[in-house]
Amino acid sequence: MNIPKTRFAPSPTGLLHFGNIRTALFNALLAAKQGGVFLLRVEDTDAERSRDEYVVALMRDLRWLGLDWQEGGDAGGAAGPYRQSQRGSVYERFRALLEERGRIYPCFCTPLELEMSRKTQASAGLPPRYSGKCAHLTPREVEAKRRELPHSLRFRMPKAEVIEFEDMVRGSQRFPADEIGDFIIRRSDGSYAFFYVNALDDALMGVTHVMRGEDHLANTPRQIALLQALQLPTPRYGHISLIVDQAGAPLSKRSGSLSVGELREMGYFSLAILNYLGRLGHRYESSAFLDFAGLVAGFSVERLGRAPARYDRAQLDFWQAQAVLGADQPTLTRWMAEEVREWVPAERLPEFAAAVRANVLFPRDARLWAEAVFGDGLPLSAEARAVLEATPPDFFRQALAVLEEPLEFKEFTRRFGAAAGVKGKALFQPLRAALTGQLHGPEMPPLFALMGWERIRRRLAAHVLNTAID
Ligand code: GLU
């Protein structure tokens, strides 16, 4: 029986960004949707650029995102090891098999020769493709060259065949094999190339579905030809559209891509990120904020788009706002605790968090409100200043008279409104401006309760004299 199995196969040469988080997400969702397995394989064949600290970081980041894997990584499994740097003997074994079957040959071409051949092809308007120079050397020629020259190993693409496959996202694909040159599976330094190790590992690890970036589409016919030559099963492939920036260029750090660590430090909720990325190039029927089970249930490869997906920070923040609104009380409190500790007494924290949740996207926003409520100095906005300047000092004198005793906000405004003969905006705007320094923000009743009678009196009193508050 073939258990559906997807995988995420990052190269640990950097931190996870939006692009690879989305690839991981779609694979995790596809596996969960089919009741299958999500596997993590570390593609660290590039010894120079791969770093252990990135392996640690990517596992931590995937877990934080809630994208847990059931096989590979540090979860183990029967098809390990799951780090390519530890799979040398496997690659050797199948290399020997390809050799036995006459499907690979040594290539002695130098980098300079290859470069010149590419240039000639380019000037004739042809796609770069290996000329086949070393494909037909006699065993004797090979022996002679081997003694003197380093060599790579090339896979013999089957000639006069068409490699066809049904892409889960892009539909039927056809690649005439003779348009694809013989490609390198092992470099002259003995290291194995991506095409080979990646395809071989997928097959040996029982991966049934590969979702990856569109930039890999042209690799797929090569990888299928390789697996066919080894009589190994080929997974189904789906090539998802790339994420582009507002100008249509691939999203980069410079155009706003963020790493998981940066997102986490800013205070993004992982589910906000997943709700956003799950809708970037994929359409959910539901427009509601979904938990992981909901993201799984509504996911479908049929709803993946082929057009490039445009990154939009405002959309990400929209989902962040939903996450903040929907967070349970302990989560919300924990989320902002550190940032507001300086201002908010611990026993008032749950009340404070509830009061500001609709007005904050990040803990640092909560900090501003914490300062506004409990701090001494209020940043006065220009519009609030204008309102205060237009309000006669008598307004505040009367307010203070009503507040001779502590009152709740509703009761206070009812009595004050009646006494001063003001209502609506004329009543609420100057009060909000005097008490918070802003014209917009969280609901006044809970803020009022948090500020406390004495602080409120002090702030109102400052305006009786028409001086700056506090
Ligand atoms: N290590 C490759 C990458 O990060 C994996 C590509 C694939 O998913 O097949 O691009």
Q: Which of residues 186, 209, 229 is at a domain's end?
A: 186
| Domain identity same for 456 and 370 | yes
| Domain identity same for 110 and 219 | no
- CA distances (Å), 97 to each of 60, 91, 130, 434, in order? 38, 10, 23, 81
CATH of the domain at 452: 1.10.10.350
Domain that holds residue 110: 97-186
| Domain identity same for 452 and 336 | yes
The pLDDT, as a whole number, for residue 75 is 97
Distance from C-alpha of 263 to C-alpha of 272, rounded to nearest angstrom: 10
| Domain identity same for 164 and 39 | no
| Residue 210 near residue 7 (C-beta atoms within 8 A) | yes
The pLDDT, as a whole number, for residue 380 is 87
CB distance 43 to ligand 1 below 6 Å: yes
Whether residue 87 lies inside any domain: the answer is no
Whether residue 470 lies inside any domain: the answer is no
C-alpha of residue 82 to centroid of ligand 1, in Å: 14
How many separate domains does the chain show? Answer: 4
pTM of the model: 0.93
The pLDDT, as a whole number, for residue 112 is 93
| Residue 149 near residue 180 (C-beta atoms within 8 A) | no
| Domain identity same for 257 and 316 | yes
Whether residue 88 lies inside any domain: the answer is no
| Domain identity same for 215 and 164 | no
| Domain identity same for 143 and 220 | no
| Domain identity same for 387 and 355 | yes
| Domain identity same for 48 and 167 | no
The pLDDT, as a whole number, for residue 25 is 98
Give the nearest ligand 1 atom to 211 CA. Answer: 8
CATH of the domain at 23: 3.40.50.620
Return the residue whose CA atom lies nearest to atom 10 of ligand 1. Answer: 10
| Phi and psi angles of residue 134, each rounded to the nearest 5 degrees, phi first | -95, 5
CB distance 7 to ligand 1 below 6 Å: no
The pLDDT, as a whole number, for residue 128 is 87
| Domain identity same for 322 and 426 | no
CATH of the domain at 152: 3.90.800.10
Contact residues for 275 (Cβ-Cβ < 8 A; gap 6+): 289, 290, 295, 319, 322, 323
CB distance 216 to ligand 1 below 6 Å: yes
CATH of the domain at 306: 1.10.1160.10
Residue by residue, pLDDT tens for the chain (470 residues) are 579 999 999 999 999 999 999 999 999 999 999 999 999 999 999 989 999 999 999 999 999 999 999 999 999 999 999 999 999 999 999 999 999 999 999 999 999 999 999 999 999 998 889 999 999 999 999 999 999 999 999 999 998 789 999 999 999 999 998 889 999 999 999 999 999 999 999 999 999 999 999 999 999 999 999 999 999 999 999 999 999 999 999 999 888 899 999 999 999 999 999 999 999 999 999 999 999 999 999 999 999 999 999 999 999 999 999 999 999 999 999 999 999 999 999 999 999 999 999 999 999 999 999 999 998 656 789 999 999 999 998 999 999 999 999 999 999 999 999 999 999 999 999 999 999 999 999 999 999 999 999 999 999 998 887 554 44
| Domain identity same for 138 and 38 | no
Q: Find residue 8's DSSP bridge partners.
A: 40
